Amino acid sequence: MAKPIILNAAALPEWAHDELDTLFDVLDFPKDTESISTFLSEHGKKVRGIALRKTRIDAALLDALPALEIISSYSAGLDNVDIPATKARRIKIENTSHILAEDVANAAVGLALAITRDFVNADAFVRAGRWPAQSQYPLGRSISNMKVGIVGLGTIGTAIAKRLQAFGSELAYFGPNRKPVDMPYYDDVKRLAHDSDMLILTCPLSPATFHLVDADVIDALGPRGFIVNIARGPVVDEAALIAALAEDKIAGAALDVFEHEPAVPEALIEDRRVILTPHIGSGTEETRRRMAENVVDALARHFNIEGPRDVVANAA
């Protein structure tokens, strides 16, 4: 029986590519953009699945893949996928938000603690030998009892809320819809910012959330407010954030994502009130392995193929 033909558009670990090659007839998506049209003309009609990471899946590409049934994405975010077009075609989409939620939530809380307690600068203070001469380091802020607004209470936002509840933070959330949770709901992010000491951004990037946190929202948050962004960079108007920092309209920001990453504005790099990490929210060995496994397993489940994890489970 012929193996299903899938399109590999994901930079995965070598072992994951080996698993895909064992289970499927794999076609590698061209890296040379000039070759894509020819490739799709020759192979597009046969492709039934996609292993995806960052490649843009737009309506034109979908039109060239009339037999496509499933997209299995390594990422949690799907801002590189034309969602309305996939829904119109009833193409199944699998992502990894349920896998990476715990480590991303851990990273978000770590960033929240680091920015409120100034851990990065405190480390530099000790390393520079300044402690003996300047015994009292400036006081930080406590996230216990702090009013924290979570922007996007999905899988990741819910995991963050669980952790902050343990710290004693006072929580509220913004999103397109009210959730069945015992937490104040806001349908206006500006009002949430006004009533919060910190905004933690976990929402997906979409036309509705592009520059959701703009100058007005930052002004509403106020000069003692903090922003933690582990969502997508363009959710924040980066220019507005830089301007607010320059005018002391915000206390600080902890950013794992950026509007034009990997490029980071010099103004953010030079500002000691900003903590910067290189998009590592899910960056643990354990989670990244499970994410790659899920890309393979989701495709195998869809096509009713016994995958590598199934073999192990059945043997046990």
Q: Find residue 26's DSSP bridge partners.
A: 6
Catalytic residue among 102, 232, 238, 293: 232
243 contacts 217 by C-beta, under 8 angstroms:
no
Residue type, 161: A
Assess whether 261 carries a catalytic annotation.
yes
Question: Which H helix or E strand runs over 129?
Answer: none
Q: CA–CA separation, 73 vs 295, rounded Å? A: 6
Q: What DSSP string describes 84-96?
A: HHHHHHT-EEE-S
Catalytic residue among 43, 211, 261, 289: 261
Q: How many CA atoms lie within 13 A of 254 on its CB side?
A: 26
Q: Find residue 71's DSSP bridge partners.
A: 50, 93
Q: CA–CA separation, 105 vs 91, rounded Å? A: 29
Question: Which H helix or E strand runs over 224?
Answer: none
Catalytic residue among 279, 289, 290, 309: 279
Assess whether 279 carries a catalytic annotation.
yes
46 contacts 2 by C-beta, under 8 angstroms:
no
Give CB contacts under 8 A, 24+ apart, made by 4-8: 4/48, 4/49, 4/299, 4/303, 4/305, 5/43, 5/46, 5/47, 5/48, 5/49, 6/47, 6/48, 6/49, 6/50, 6/51, 6/299, 7/47, 7/49, 7/50, 7/51, 7/65, 8/51
Q: CA–CA separation, 299 vs 137, rounded Å? A: 53
Instruction: Report, as residue numbers or ranges, the catalytic residues.
Output: 232, 261, 279
